[in-house]
Structure 1
Amino acid sequence: MSNELIESGSGTTEERILDAAMQVFAEVGFDGARVDEIARRANANKAAIYYHIGDKEAVYTVVLQRVFSGFVQRVIETVQQAQTPEEQLRLYIRTIANNLRQHPYLPTIMMREFASGAKHLPGAIVAEMTKMIGLLASILHDGEAQGIFVHVTPLLIHILLVGGHIFSNSIDLIMLKHQQVIPPQLLAAHQHFPDTFPQEIEETILRAVKKTSA
């Protein structure tokens, strides 16, 4: 995580505020975040935050909406390009993985939310997440109806996918920060893990849901 100031020429005032806020929320969570610190990093004043967005709760909601906005529709459109349930599931997995990689602060924010019992998670974001799970349920149902997939709980698969990426991100940070106390063989084994993890989680999920020949 970085606490460096965002250059005043980097986007509009609102964009700088949201970029800075995402950093702060990832580092200290909603409860620990201070509007003063967000303003400092955004090279803005508190009045600008209240004028452009609103209070801290409003900023938090907009930060998450900016990430999730249009994401569900992109996943739906991508999945529709596939012809079979297996292809649809693979595209579902890859699209979510790509989105998480494009927003490196999001996994940490979501981990904090899950740890707190989603205390500050906006209802609009829950609605978007529910749509995602509904899409996954449809893919799995079609695969089961066609005799391709076994019966599995969609929420379990979604937790495996998203939770795996979130914890993978955390492990990378732990390895980097505490490499002096981690055995060399473990560091060596982990060296290529960030690059291979997306493919490994995809294949793990497919092995879990695909029906094997008797």
Structure 2
Amino acid sequence: MKKRTAKQTKELILSTAIGLFAKKGFDGLRVDELALDAGINKATIYYHFKDKSFIFETILLYLSEFIINEIEKRQKNIIDPKNKLENFLDAIIFVMTSKRDLAKIMMQELAFNGKNLTDDVTKHFFKIIYTLKLILKEGNEQNLFKNIDPLLVHATIIGSLNYYYTMKEAEIDKKDEEYKIDISQESANEIKEMILSYIIK
């Protein structure tokens, strides 16, 4: 069997940790379990990462950078505030629906008041909200948007998407015929449209 490179080993550790953190949360994950699931020994994990907190920080920094890059990519050469807002929401939707385990980790951490967030991670996430603040401010100054707190907008879309898709993954629509719920694949766009209609004058 071909030996893994150091980069491949780090990626294996991180990808395994993402799945476990999403399932068990920060406090529930043990390094022994991570080593077992990744098929490597604990010493290898500690060779690449000094502790569990550093693994967690690395994952959240990756997530925040991924979101920022996705937003910046979609905002390139866009001038109209409405288009900027729509592209911002599209970027968040893309991340929340395509990186479900990372989204769950983020929401779990926020539910516990961000007790495991480092200053670097916090700064990265506030950069996302600051980007939204600038878009809303620009639209408000042009009399296109209502004056709405960017943190509220961000929390609404993140919370709505995460709650919705968590329930979908739990397949609540299949549990009991009496309480059957029809879950549409277009829900993310519907959430986006509700937010746009609330902000745009």
TM-score relative to the length of structure 2: 0.90
- 1:183 is paired with a residue whose SS is helix
Q: How many residue pairs get matched?
A: 198
SS in 1 for 2:130: helix
Alignment match, 2:192: 202
2:161 to 162, 165, 179: 165
Q: Which residue of 2 aligns with 1:145?
A: 141
> Shift of residue 76 of structure 1?
2.5
Q: Structure 1 stretch 118-127 or stretch 9-18: which is displaced more? A: 9-18
Relative contact order: is structure 1 or structure 2 higher (C-alpha 8 Å, sep ≥ 6)?
Answer: 2
Secondary structure of 2:117's match?
coil
| CA 70–109 in structure 1, closer or farther in 2 if over 3 Å, else same | closer
RMSD: 2.1
Question: Is residue 179 of structure 1 aligned with residue 174 of structure 2?
Answer: yes
Is the aligned partner of 1:97 residue 2:87?
A: no
- TM-score of the aligned structures, taking structure 1 as reference length: 0.85
CA distance in 1, matches of 2:14, 2:27: 17
Deviations 1:103-138 (A, max 9, x none): 110222122212212111222221111111111111
Task: Return 117-126 or 29-38, whichever deviates more.
Answer: 117-126
In structure 2, relative to structure 1, the CA distance for the partners of 1:77 and 1:32 (3 Å cut) is same
Q: Distance in 1 between matches of 2:177 and 2:152?
A: 31
Compared CA separation, residues 81 and 182, structure 1 to 2 (3 A): farther
Asked whether the 8 Å contact 1:175–1:182 carries over to 2, the reply is: no
Task: Indicate the residue corresponding to 1:52 in structure 2.
Answer: 48
Paired residue for 1:68? 64
- What is the aligned-residue identity percentage? 29
How big is the shift at 1:198?
1.6
Report the counterpart of residue 35 of structure 1 in structure 2: 31
Q: 1: CA distance between counterparts of 2:104 and 2:178? A: 25
Unmatched 5+ residue regions in structure 2? none
**Match for 1:132 among 125, 128, 153?**
128
Following the alignment from structure 2 to structure 1, what is the Cα–Cα distance between the partners of residues 101 and 45?
Answer: 20
* Conserved 8 A contact 2:61-2:124: no
Cα displacement (A) at 1:70: 4.7
Give the partner amino acid of 2:131: L
| Equivalent pair of 1:61/1:122 in contact (CA under 8 Å) | yes
